């Protein structure tokens, strides 16, 4: 029952809307006829206008058309120029990106070369220091050997003297 009431309400609304649309359609038709009449009148007036006025309007129309064509040609020329500049800009952006990549690669290569050079320099310093230490140790060993030889020579002399003295005592 509620459903039927809702349907009747909707039917009533639909009927009202339909009447409104029909009224709007009639009004639109009358307005269209009115404008069509005005257009027909204007066409008649234009046809009745003098040839001089028509020719003058045609000249102005032609001049305006030529100006519009020139403006469109200039606009097209500017569009082409802008497109060319955009393409050049894109090329430059690509070149800049490539240059940045090359710069990073060069910086990385330089950093690696610096690390390698530092390692080699450290190794060289280590080798030099090791050579100096070995040379110093050799010098010390040679000094110790000379001192040992001196001490041994001294003891040999002492032993020889002692043997001479002992022989002398034995011979008495």
Residue-wise pLDDT tens digits, 102-150: 999 999 999 999 999 999 999 999 999 999 999 999 999 999 999 999 9
In a domain, 115, yes or no: yes
Residue-wise pLDDT tens digits, 64-106: 989 999 999 999 999 999 999 999 999 999 999 999 999 999 9
In a domain, 11, yes or no: no
When computed from its CA atoms, the radius of gyration of the chain, rounded to whole angstroms, is 59
Q: Can you give the residue range of the structural domain that contains 61?
A: 49-171
In a domain, 43, yes or no: no
**Residue holding tokens 């800049």?**
96
pLDDT given for residue 2 in this prediction: 63
The domain tally of the chain equals 1
**Residue holding tokens 């080798």?**
127
In a domain, 27, yes or no: no
For residues 35-59, give the mean pLDDT. Answer: 77
pLDDT given for residue 1 in this prediction: 57
Tell me phi and psi for residue 102, to 5 degrees. -65, -40
pTM for the whole structure: 0.39
The sign one gets for the Cα dihedral 138, 139, 144, 150 is positive
Q: What distance in Å separates the CA atoms of residue 120 and residue 55, rounded to the nearest whole number?
A: 95
Predicted confidence (pLDDT) at residue 11 exceeds the cutoff of 70: no
pLDDT given for residue 100 in this prediction: 95
In a domain, 121, yes or no: yes
In a domain, 146, yes or no: yes
Q: Please give the structure tokens belonging to residue 171.
A: 């011979």
In the chain, which residue ranges form alpha helices assigned H by DSSP? 2-48, 51-171
Predicted confidence (pLDDT) at residue 7 exceeds the cutoff of 60: no
The sign one gets for the Cα dihedral 157, 159, 160, 162 is positive
In a domain, 64, yes or no: yes
């Amino acid at each position: 029952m509620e459903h039927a009431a809702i349907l009747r309400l909707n039917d009533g609304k639909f009927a009202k809307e339909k009447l409104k649309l029909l009224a709007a359609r009639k009004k639109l038709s009358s307005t269209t006829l009115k404008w069509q009449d005005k257009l027909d009148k204007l066409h008649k007036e234009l046809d009745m206008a003098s040839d001089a006025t028509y020719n003058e309007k045609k000249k102005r129309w032609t001049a305006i058309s030529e100006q519009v064509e020139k403006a469109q040609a200039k606009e097209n020329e500017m569009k082409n120029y802008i497109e060319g500049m955009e393409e050049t800009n894109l090329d430059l952006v690509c070149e800049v990106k490539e240059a940045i990549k090359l710069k990073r690669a060069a910086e990385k290569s330089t950093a690696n070369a610096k690390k390698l050079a530092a390692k080699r320099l450290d190794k060289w310093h280590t080798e030099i220091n090791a050579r100096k230490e070995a040379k110093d140790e050799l010098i010390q060993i040679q000094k110790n050997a000379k001192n040992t030889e001196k001490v041994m020579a001294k003891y040999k002399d002492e032993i020889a003297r002692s043997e001479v003295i002992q022989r002398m005592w034995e011979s008495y």
